[in-house]
Amino acid sequence: MQQYHVYGLGAALVDTEIEVTDEFLSQANIEKGLMTLVDETRQAEILELMKEHLVGSKRASGGSACNSIIAASYFGAKTYYSCKVSDDENGLFFQQDTQAAGVTTSDKAHPNGTTGKCLVMITPDAERTMNTFLGVSAELDEAQLDAKAI
């Protein structure tokens, strides 16, 4: 008997959507409209620069594969997502958010490292600019596969 209709594997990211201006992107030396991989230090610098903007921010679980799995779940598919999160606030948020969307995930959180984060900066013209720190998702390997779910 088939347990899941769709099985996904990919980065576990917590997206934080923040409304910013073109001037902010320019001042922060961020190229508009691109997805840029950054390290944790650079992401912290950007967050510090935009601390006033965070009042209106929204968080959601994300990553391209995760977004597809959540969409399939919303369309009624039984879904499973393999990924790697840390035992931190964002890892807990990611697991709770995906489960709330009807997606089954591994309950294993990894004690070391940081869960991946994506800053999604949205300008008034609705253009998205993303700065992504992959965190422990960069270490995704066969240990995160669930053969029974596949």
CATH of the domain at 79: 3.40.1190.20
Is residue 150 included in any domain, yes or no?
Answer: no
Describe the crossing of helices 89-100 and 64-74 by its angle, rounded to 10 degrees.
30
- Structural domain for 138, as ranges: 6-144
Is residue 123 included in any domain, yes or no?
Answer: yes
What is the number of structural domains in the chain? 1
Is residue 149 included in any domain, yes or no?
Answer: no
Please report which confidence band the pLDDT of residue 117 belongs to, taking 50, 70 and 90 as the band edges.
very high
| Mean pLDDT for all residues in the chain | 91
Is residue 78 included in any domain, yes or no?
Answer: yes
pLDDT at 126 over 90: yes
How confident is the model at residue 58, as a pLDDT? 87
How confident is the model at residue 109, as a pLDDT? 75
Is residue 1 included in any domain, yes or no?
Answer: no
Identity of residue 79: T
Give Cα 135 distance to the centre of its chain: 10
What number is the average pLDDT over the span 84-92? 93
Please report which confidence band the pLDDT of residue 39 belongs to, taking 50, 70 and 90 as the band edges.
very high
User: Over pLDDT 70: what percentage of the chain?
Assistant: 95
pLDDT digits (tens, 9 = 90+) for 12-25: 999 999 989 999 99
How confident is the model at residue 43, as a pLDDT? 94
Cβ pair 141, 38 in contact under 8 A: no
Is residue 135 included in any domain, yes or no?
Answer: yes
